[in-house]
């Protein structure tokens, strides 16, 4: 999985900027444009500056999709716009996952019926390396469910690109991790290695 940032969720006092950005970029009815633009910049920079690192680690993606939701079932989903800004190699295709019967089954369980691959997109999935984009990783159930769906449809490989890992500041293990990572987001830090990246500067 490619994880771009950590989110300081449930922080005491004012909502932390990282949590605000991921929430407000898809706020309805009026998303905050600045937050959406910031996330687009993060996704575009990470996938462009580190394109070689990502391809070396995971292989080139041949198709890109995103995690839909029942609130935003189609390409109007704010995360679809993030997926649109993933820097891709020439020839990679895009497609949309559909919602399955199990989309809103409560509980953070991995289920192959939360999503479906529409028949018209099967040829973009079978035997391919799919990159799945989501804005937030909380339990990971959505992204992992989509990965199962794609594998069952015949995908050769699935790589997730997640903008923010939602951490809970009220949980001691998350608090310890968040308190040890206070530096601002830096696009030159490699999403593959987690280190400052010489490839990115070339």
Minimal distance, residue 178 CB to Zn ion, in Å = 23
Nearer to Zn ion, 99 or 189 (CB): 189
Nearer to Zn ion, 8 or 50 (CB): 50
Selected range binding Zn ion among 10-18, 72-80, 177-185, 186-194, rule: CB under 5 A: 186-194
User: First and final CA of the chain: distance in angstroms?
Assistant: 24
Q: What is the CA radius of gyration of the chain?
A: 17
Selected range binding Zn ion among 28-36, 55-63, 150-158, 192-200, rule: CB under 5 A: 192-200
Nearer to Zn ion, 53 or 86 (CB): 53
Paired with 64 in beta bridges are: 94, 131
Residue 89 contacts residue 61 (beta carbons within 8 Å): yes
- Which positions ≥6 away from 131 have C-beta within 8 Å? 61, 63, 64, 65, 86, 158, 159, 160, 161
Selected range binding Zn ion among 32-40, 97-105, 108-116, 194-202, rule: CB under 5 A: 194-202
Q: Is 190 in the site for Zn ion (CB under 5 A)?
A: yes
Nearer to Zn ion, 139 or 198 (CB): 198
The pairing of strands 115-116 and 2-9 is unpaired
Closest CA to 149 of 100, 81, 202: 100
Minimal distance, residue 92 CB to Zn ion, in Å = 19
Residue numbers 36-65 binding Zn ion by CB under 5 A: 50, 53
Minimal distance, residue 192 CB to Zn ion, in Å = 6
Paired with 8 in beta bridges are: 167
Q: CA-based angle 109:5:80, to the nearest 5?
A: 65
Nearer to Zn ion, 113 or 199 (CB): 199
How big is the site for Zn ion, counted in residues (CB under 5 A)?
Answer: 6
**Sign of the torsion angle spanned by Cα atoms 167, 86, 100, 74:** positive
Selected range binding Zn ion among 65-73, 77-85, 94-102, 191-199, rule: CB under 5 A: 191-199
Given the rule CB under 5 A, which residues bind Zn ion?
50, 53, 190, 197, 199-200
């Amino acid at each position: 999985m490619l994880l771009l940032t950590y989110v300081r969720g449930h922080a005491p006092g004012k909502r932390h900027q990282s949590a605000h950005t991921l929430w407000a970029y898809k706020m309805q009815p009026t998303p905050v444009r600045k937050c959406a633009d910031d996330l687009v910049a993060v996704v575009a920079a990470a996938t462009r500056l580190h394109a070689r690192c990502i391809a070396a680690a995971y292989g080139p993606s041949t198709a890109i999709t995103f995690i839909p939701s029942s609130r935003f079932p189609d390409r109007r989903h704010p995360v679809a716009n993030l997926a649109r800004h993933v820097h891709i190699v020439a020839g990679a295709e895009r497609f949309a996952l559909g919602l399955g019967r199990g989309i809103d089954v409560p509980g953070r369980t991995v289920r192959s019926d939360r999503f479906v691959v529409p028949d018209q997109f099967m040829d973009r999935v079978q035997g391919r390396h799919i990159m799945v984009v989501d804005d937030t990783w909380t339990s990971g159930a959505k992204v992992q469910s989509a990965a199962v769906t794609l594998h069952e449809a015949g995908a050769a490989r699935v790589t997730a690109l997640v903008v923010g890992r939602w951490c809970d500041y009220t949980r001691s293990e998350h608090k310890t991790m968040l308190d040890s990572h206070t530096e601002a987001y830096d696009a030159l830090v490699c999403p593959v290695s987690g280190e400052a990246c010489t490839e990115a500067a070339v």
